Amino acid sequence: MLLSVIVETSRAVTATSSRTAKVTHLAAALRAAAAQDPGRVGAVASYLSGSLPQRRTGVSWRSLTELPTPAEQATLTVAELDDAAERLTRTSGSGSAAARARLVKGLFCRATDDEQAWLRAVFVGEARQGAGDGIMLQAIARAADVPDATVRRAVMLAGRTGPVAAAALTGGAAALDAIELEVGRPLRPMLAASAPDVAGALATLEGEVAIETKLDGIRLQAHLDDGAVGLFTRTLEDVTDRLLEIVDVLHALPVRRAVLDGEVIALGEGGRPLPFQVTGARTASSADPQRLRAEVPLTAYFFDLLHLDGADLLDRPLGQRWDRLAALAPAEQLVPRITTADPVAAQAFFDEVVAAGHEGIVVKDLHRPYAAGRRSPGWVKVKPRHTLDLVVLAVEWGSGRRQGWLSNIHLGARDAETGGLVMLGKTFKGMSDEMLRWQTARFRELAIGDPDAGWVAQLRPEQVVEVAFDGVQRSSRYPGGMALRFARVLRYRDDKPVSQIDTVQTVRLLAGW
């Protein structure tokens, strides 16, 4: 299959705001891939989503600023791109930079001008054609003529879209039904919706609920398989080698095979949580794990059990999953929680949790199954202030005391209907001098073009930021028709991908619109 088919499809998807049209274009390309090169359907699905199945290739934005003369005719194939990307991921050690440069040059020499532009965007994570996860899953279902729900469940269990597309287009519903939870392979984590306060969260659920402490740590999915341990973040990154103390926790459990969901967090004196950046830096570091373990020990708290000794528990009610978890893990490794239907008791627990330095609570329906990979009404998080996880779209140079620093950031939310990014305003509040120094360096790396060329630097939309705000107001100044009031930066979230930022629809819901 020629790469030009992918490029042309991406252009068509970008050009339309119609969800139906996007799905139609994507489904046609997937069917063509299945007919011409069935072994590469998974790669095609990734490319149509604007990403490489290999994820990291070591190719930087700066290495692609000068490209070779483009080819006149489209001859580059999907197979050649996929093979080149695989070689790039395997290239390491002495002389690897030069070897990667030769591989990249050889690849781009084969590409036309349009293909070069598309390749550059995909390699650096800048491809945004509005083919979000929901749209792609619909396209897979249509291309393979299988139910949407079957595709969604398969992706939940497989973790990634590419393998599911390959299964659907080559084996149909039977191949999708054969995809099961596999101990050792991360699945997509269940996510929580948001409510402005405890009363609002309780109003969305009925009867007795579980109210759990929302820890300000790193989400962790833990797999144990006959002594082999796998630890994965919410982005499905394998961090097993970095968290040796958590590996020991898993080895101590009286079980042969299990999959647990929870958080890891760095605690200070009296068990009070240390700043999120401490936990984030520890889990992201690839330095000597034994030294890091001694300097910044992490504590694991579990709140769900998805598999136990050959039995998948995903479809069991939360109450049953918790009972089995509580029988398996020591009490000190379980997230603090209560069960109640009393709003007064729920508010008191919330106040106690916040006073202890934690992020808030998660209210959970005891009767719901585990809805991996999406925000479910069965889990509702409450924080003591309005917060959103957004992406930085652009940044402005500061003035006065902030002269010489990239300061005022442009905030964007994800549109759940189109997959695009929508600006919700700007902020320069909440930034310490240390943060300003960090973000100036970071945004220079993400700048599209020369960041010094003007007052505003446009950025590749990759940096997630958590902001607090006092409310939402209508505004004709921004495309979304609204703006955040008194937004201020709480922290930058390197643990969260742009695909999981909050949506425009969530902001409207918080505003009561």
Contacts of 399 (CB under 8 A, 6+ apart): none
**Residue 135 amino acid letter:** I
R_g of the chain computed on alpha carbons: 23
Could you tell me the two tokens for 342?
């009393």
- 381 classed as catalytic: no
CB 309 within 8 A of CB 327: no
Helix (H) or strand (E) holding 153: helix 148-158
Which of 22, 105, 214, 381 is flagged as catalytic?
A: 214
Q: How many angstroms separate the CA atoms of 341 and 386, rounded?
A: 24
Q: How many angstroms separate the CA atoms of 490 and 471, rounded?
A: 16
DSSP notation for 418-477: T--EEEEEEE-TT--HHHHHHHHHHHHHHBSS-TTSSSEEEB-TT-EEEEEESEEEE-SS
CB 233 within 8 A of CB 495: yes
Q: How many angstroms separate the CA atoms of 130 and 18, rounded?
A: 10
DSSP notation for 48-73: HTTS-TT---S--SGGGSS-PPPPSS
Q: Of the candidates 234, 52, 41, which has an alpha carbon nearest to the alpha carbon of residue 125?
A: 52
- Across-strand partners of 421? 414
Q: How many angstroms separate the CA atoms of 483 and 145, rounded?
A: 41
- Across-strand partners of 211? 338, 363
Tokens 């929302």 locate to: 214
Q: At what angle do helices 3-15 and 113-123 cross, to 10 degrees?
A: 80
The phi and psi torsions of 445 (rounded to 5 degrees) equal: -70, -35
The phi and psi torsions of 127 (rounded to 5 degrees) equal: -75, 115
Q: Of the candidates 448, 437, 433, which has an alpha carbon nearest to the alpha carbon of residue 392?
A: 448
Length of the chain: 513
What is residue 236's DSSP assignment?
Answer: -
Alpha-carbon distance values, 392 to 51, 410, 411, 463, 501 (Å): 19, 6, 5, 6, 11
Q: How many angstroms separate the CA atoms of 173 and 150, rounded?
A: 7
- Give the residue numbers marked as catalytic: 214
